[in-house]
């Protein structure tokens, strides 16, 4: 595989010739562990669907091409220049001529990325339909990542919202960046806002990021049990979502071929790549294709971390089972009773690196806005279930909704699920 000259662009974005044609995103840079997962996560964060993809690496340099299309469901226009900038930021910097970049990373000579500074956004205003989603939309557009949220509504219809956020641009400590945030929040909060401030989160505040109310045994059983997962999904899904995951060691002398056939959903390629990354499997070559009828085909030529094929039968079974589970249930959605309230719960697995799935809270609040459902309380917390960390979103729909009919409950769950999965 040839290494591009210094004059070549690390990231290229080429738009289609006519409306409806996909945009081609090309990345050519030094390889690093989990790079494919990180790129797919960023593409998902910008509201893009991957229609087709090719990726290859020789262990030192990688070449990735993604054909993407913008989601049409309530999303703002894609900031393509900003996407390119963020993709470049993810790519490792080429090492000087004659120096092995992998050696530099292993020797600790490349400076690792530090933990982003956490800030507390606090505002108070009168409640209205869709308020929480409108605020979330502003934060997403400004590249302010929501780490945790605490939303509460008083009996007189006022809301006190606390958002623990980080800034992808690392400028929230500056006066100009905060004033920009105040101005954009004011545009959606209107004259009803009585206070709005952003401050650096203290150590005591930051500790709240780890604190979260315990989940009941009923919720744990309903959301995290893997019993009859396949049968459950088959009964609820369309015929074109049948899932097949196989491994073959006979087609390549150096790689194990992982073949996946499944129904499409938003973030599918990200779910595959994060699972492969968390299982410490390396992809040498991969091909992804999403057909017009909602069927996807994926071929991955993979090796273990030691560079050898996956020959152990138990490892093969474990890997196939993990992929099936992650693709059948990338997110868990349930509606339960909690005292007088109806509580919507959404859970998604956290990567081993500590990153959660992007835009989950955005999609939840957008779905509830479309369903004309008010949010009384909302929280984001992390829980360890069966030695695995999950990000759990808990949304109380208010005292008026505790006696929802079965049909209304089903409509809420289906509406949120469809928004999260990108289904019509």
* Any domain includes 301: yes
Q: How far apart are CA 323 and CA 330, in angstroms?
A: 10
62 lies in the same domain as 132: no
pLDDT tens digit sequence for 292-336: 778 999 999 999 999 999 999 999 999 999 999 999 999 999 999
334 lies in the same domain as 295: no
312 lies in the same domain as 382: no
* Any domain includes 207: no
14 lies in the same domain as 52: yes
Distances (CA, A) of 364 to 152, 188, 371, 382: 17, 18, 11, 17
pLDDT for position 109: 45
* Of the listed ranges 187-196, 337-346, 375-384, the one predicted with least confidence: 337-346
336 lies in the same domain as 316: no
Q: How far apart are CA 149 and CA 91, in angstroms?
A: 30
Give the domain range for residue 162: 118-146+157-199
48 lies in the same domain as 82: yes
315 lies in the same domain as 371: no
Higher pLDDT, 226 or 245: 245
Confidence of residue 241 (pLDDT cuts 50, 70, 90): low
| Number of domains, the chain | 4
* Any domain includes 47: yes
* Any domain includes 289: yes
| Two structure tokens written together for 363 | 């999609």
**Upper half-sphere CA count for residue 68 (Cβ side, 13 Å):** 28
Confidence of residue 192 (pLDDT cuts 50, 70, 90): confident
Tell me what the mean pLDDT of segment 256-274 comes to: 96
* Any domain includes 229: no
Q: Is 4 a residue whose pLDDT tops 70?
A: no
Q: How far apart are CA 17 and CA 286, in angstroms?
A: 26
Q: State which of 261, 294, 328 marks the end of a domain.
A: 328
* Any domain includes 219: no
Q: Is 107 a residue whose pLDDT tops 50?
A: no
177 lies in the same domain as 247: no
Q: How far apart are CA 355 and CA 379, in angstroms?
A: 18
The CATH number linked to 346 is 3.30.70
Q: Is 155 a residue whose pLDDT tops 90?
A: no
pLDDT for position 8: 59
Q: State which of 267, 297, 328 marks the end of a domain.
A: 328
Q: Is 210 a residue whose pLDDT tops 70?
A: no
161 lies in the same domain as 79: no
Q: Is 341 a residue whose pLDDT tops 50?
A: yes
* Any domain includes 304: yes
The CATH number linked to 77 is 3.30.70.260
85 lies in the same domain as 135: no
Pick from 70, 65, 71: which is nearest to 288 by CA?
Answer: 65
354 lies in the same domain as 370: yes
413 lies in the same domain as 340: yes
Mean pLDDT of the chain: 87
* Any domain includes 100: no
Q: State which of 280, 302, 328 marks the end of a domain.
A: 328
pLDDT tens digit sequence for 30-78: 999 899 999 999 999 999 999 999 999 998 999 999 999 987 655 778 9
């Amino acid at each position: 595989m040839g290494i591009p000259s210094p004059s070549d662009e690390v990231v290229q974005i080429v738009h289609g010739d006519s409306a409806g044609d996909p945009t081609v995103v090309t990345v050519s840079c030094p390889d690093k562990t989990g790079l494919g997962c990180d790129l797919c996560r960023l593409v998902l964060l910008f509201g893009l669907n991957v229609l087709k993809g090719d990726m290859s690496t020789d262990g030192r340099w990688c070449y990735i091409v993604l054909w993407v299309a913008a989601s049409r469901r309530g999303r703002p226009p894609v900031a393509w220049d900003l996407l390119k900038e963020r993709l470049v930021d993810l790519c490792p910097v080429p090492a000087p001529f004659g120096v092995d970049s992998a050696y530099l990373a292993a020797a600790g000579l490349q400076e690792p990325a530090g933990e982003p500074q956490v800030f507390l956004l606090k505002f108070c205003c009168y409640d209205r339909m869709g308020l929480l989603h409108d605020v979330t939309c502003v934060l997403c557009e400004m590249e302010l990542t929501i780490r945790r949220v605490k939303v509460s509504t008083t009996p007189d219809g006022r809301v006190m919202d606390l958002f623990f956020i980080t800034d992808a641009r690392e400028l929230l400590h500056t006066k100009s960046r905060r004033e920009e945030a105040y101005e954009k929040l004011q545009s959606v909060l209107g004259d009803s806002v009585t206070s709005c401030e952003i401050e650096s989160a203290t150590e005591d505040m930051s500790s709240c990021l780890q604190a979260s109310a315990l989940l009941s045994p009923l919720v744990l059983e309903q959301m995290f049990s893997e019993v009859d997962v396949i049968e459950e999904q088959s009964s609820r899904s369309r015929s074109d979502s049948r899932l097949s995951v196989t491994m073959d060691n006979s087609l390549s002398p150096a790689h194990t071929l992982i073949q996946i056939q499944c129904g499409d959903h938003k973030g599918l390629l990200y779910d595959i790549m994060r699972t492969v990354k968390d299982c410490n499997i390396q992809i040498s070559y991969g091909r992804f294709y999403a057909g017009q009828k909602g069927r996807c085909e994926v071929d991955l030529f993979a090796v273990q971390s030691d560079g050898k094929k996956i020959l152990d039968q138990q490892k093969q079974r474990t890997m196939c089972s993990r992929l099936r589970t992650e693709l059948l249930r990338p997110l868990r959605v349930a509606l339960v009773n909690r005292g007088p309230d109806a509580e919507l719960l959404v859970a998604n697995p956290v990567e081993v690196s500590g990153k959660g799935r992007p835009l989950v809270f955005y999609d939840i609040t957008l779905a509830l806005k479309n369903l004309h459902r008010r949010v009384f309380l909302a929280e984001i917390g992390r829980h360890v279930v069966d030695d695995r960390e999950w990000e759990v979103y808990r949304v109380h729909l208010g005292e008026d909704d505790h006696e929802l009919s079965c049909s209304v409950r089903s409509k809420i769950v289906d509406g949120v699920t469809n928004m999260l999965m990108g289904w019509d």
